Every structure is written in structure tokens, then in C-alpha cells.
């Protein structure tokens, strides 16, 4: 969780909680010509509150274009942060969750919202498996050296990635394998520990011309 402030870390923990409790969440999405209408709810009052908190805090971030830059974020989500001024959002809370309507006059922004709404539905349907799928999609742009963010980059399945490290005589390409362990803490919060579990030099090449 390196590189993120306390508020972001708390938000990421809440998102993780939503993934873990995905089976307690119901969701319907209606695509309309200029955007989306979603209904997301839970019979569990704690999860319903978590959903409301998530949407409020994420809306606050989007409203100022404050992209947390998490490894799990899709291109659609980045587009939403980039085009935050082109989005109209209304959130109506219900007893068990909320109804969100998001519209835009910009076709790219409409498409991004419809795509993101569908991704959230995948998260609700498949939980952690969908989280891992989303991260794998982003793996090609991954830069594991320094493991920026760390959170949600790993998972029960170990991940690997290349890391170029330059020495005075050559450029060595290292391959790291790392894993994420999830720990119950005080009965509810889970903390994640990203750890390197293997490291191997994958290639070595002569130093390129400057």
C-alpha cells in the first residue's frame, strides 16, 4: 500500500470488503442513450452502508479528477477520471443501497460509464475472481519494481513481471514472483502483505548506447 494516503488506503479496504461480500450484493444496470442507471443494494445493513460510502467517496474523487491509480483500474475508469467535467451524476439512496444515474453528452464518456458499470457488475457477480481478471488485464502495463500501490496487485495466485535493472556494465532483466496474503484482523478488516517469493535473472544484455 506504499504511496497512498490514509484516506485512499481506507477506501481500498472498503473496496476489498465489497469484493469479499460480493454475494450479498444485488445489482441491475440499465444502459440509456446518454449513460446508465444502476441499482445496487444489499440486505446486509453493513454492506449497504459500505456501498453508499464507496459511491460517495469515489464520487468525491471523480468530482476533482483525483484518480487513485490502482492496478485494478480499467481504461474505462481512467477515462471517467479524465473526463470528470463531462459527467452528470445523481445518487438516490434507498434503504438497502442506492440508485445511480450518470449521463453525459460526450460519446466517449457515455461509453466509459457503460463499460465501467458492466465491470462493477462483474465484480458483484464474480467477486475476487473478477478482481484478479481485471488485474491480469492490466498486467501488461505493470511495473513491479517498487511495487507502486501494491494493494490488489497480488492475490492467492502468485504474479510475475519483468524488472529491468541497469548496472554499470549491462542491463539485467529480473523476473519477480510475488504473492498476496490476506489476514483477518479484529474479526473484520483484512490486511494485505505483498511479498516477493522468488527472484530470478531472466536475461542480461550489453548496455545500450546512451
Instruction: Name the residues that contact ligand HEM, by CB under 6 A.
Output: 15, 18-19, 22, 25, 38, 40, 54-55, 58-59, 61-62, 68, 70, 72-73, 77, 80, 87, 89, 100, 102, 117, 120, 123-124
d(CA 80, CA 112): 6
Q: Which residue lies nearer to ligand HEM by CB, 110 or 124?
A: 124
In the complex, least distance from residue 197 CB atom to ligand HEM, rounded to whole angstroms? 24
Q: Of 15, 62, 16, give the one whose Cα is nearest residue 183.
A: 16
Q: Which residue lies nearer to ligand HEM by CB, 18 or 163?
A: 18
In the complex, least distance from residue 131 CB atom to ligand HEM, rounded to whole angstroms? 7
d(CA 1, CA 153): 10
Q: Which residue lies nearer to ligand HEM by CB, 119 or 163?
A: 119
Q: The dihedral of CA 6, 8, 12, 17: what is its sign?
A: positive
Whether the CB-CB separation of 105 and 88 falls below 8 Å is answered with no
Q: Using only the alpha carbons of the chain, give its radius of gyration.
A: 19
The DSSP string of 98-133 is EEEEEE-S-HHHHHHHHHHHHHHHHHHHHTHHHHHH
d(CA 36, CA 193): 36
d(CA 76, CA 135): 14
Q: Which residue lies nearer to ligand HEM by CB, 93 or 160?
A: 93
The cell for 89 is 451524476
In the complex, least distance from residue 126 CB atom to ligand HEM, rounded to whole angstroms? 9
In the complex, least distance from residue 89 CB atom to ligand HEM, rounded to whole angstroms? 6
Q: Which residue lies nearer to ligand HEM by CB, 132 or 163?
A: 132
Q: Which residue lies nearer to ligand HEM by CB, 123 or 178?
A: 123
In the complex, least distance from residue 97 CB atom to ligand HEM, rounded to whole angstroms? 8
In the complex, least distance from residue 133 CB atom to ligand HEM, rounded to whole angstroms? 12
Amino acid at each position: 500500500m506504499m504511496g497512498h494516503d490514509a484516506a485512499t488506503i481506507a477506501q481500498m479496504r472498503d473496496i476489498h470488503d465489497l469484493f469479499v461480500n460480493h454475494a450479498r450484493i444485488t445489482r441491475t444496470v440499465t444502459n440509456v442513450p446518454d449513460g446508465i442507471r444502476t441499482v445496487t443494494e444489499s440486505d446486509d445493513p453493513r454492506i449497504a452502508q459500505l456501498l453508499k460510502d464507496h459511491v460517495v467517496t469515489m464520487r468525491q474523487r471523480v468530482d476533482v479528477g483525483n484518480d487513485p491509480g490502482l492496478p485494478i483500474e480499467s481504461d474505462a475508469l481512467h477515462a471517467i477520471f479524465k473526463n470528470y467535467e463531462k459527467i452528470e451524476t445523481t445518487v438516490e439512496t434507498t434503504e438497502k443501497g442506492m440508485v445511480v444515474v450518470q449521463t453525459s453528452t460526450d460519446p466517449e464518456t457515455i461509453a466509459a460509464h457503460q463499460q465501467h458499470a458492466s465491470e462493477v457488475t462483474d465484480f458483484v457477480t464474480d467477486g475476487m475472481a473478477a478482481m484478479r481478471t481485471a488485474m491480469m488485464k492490466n498486467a501488461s502495463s505493470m511495473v513491479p519494481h517498487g511495487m507502486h500501490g501494491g494493494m490488489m496487485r497480488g492475490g492467492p495466485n502468485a504474479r510475475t513481471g519483468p524488472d529491468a535493472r541497469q548496472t554499470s556494465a549491462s542491463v539485467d532483466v529480473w523476473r519477480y514472483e510475488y504473492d498476496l496474503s490476506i489476514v483477518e484482523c479484529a474479526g473484520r478488516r483484512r490486511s494485505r502483505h505483498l511479498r516477493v517469493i522468488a527472484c530470478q535473472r531472466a536475461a542480461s544484455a550489453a548496455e545500450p548506447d546512451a
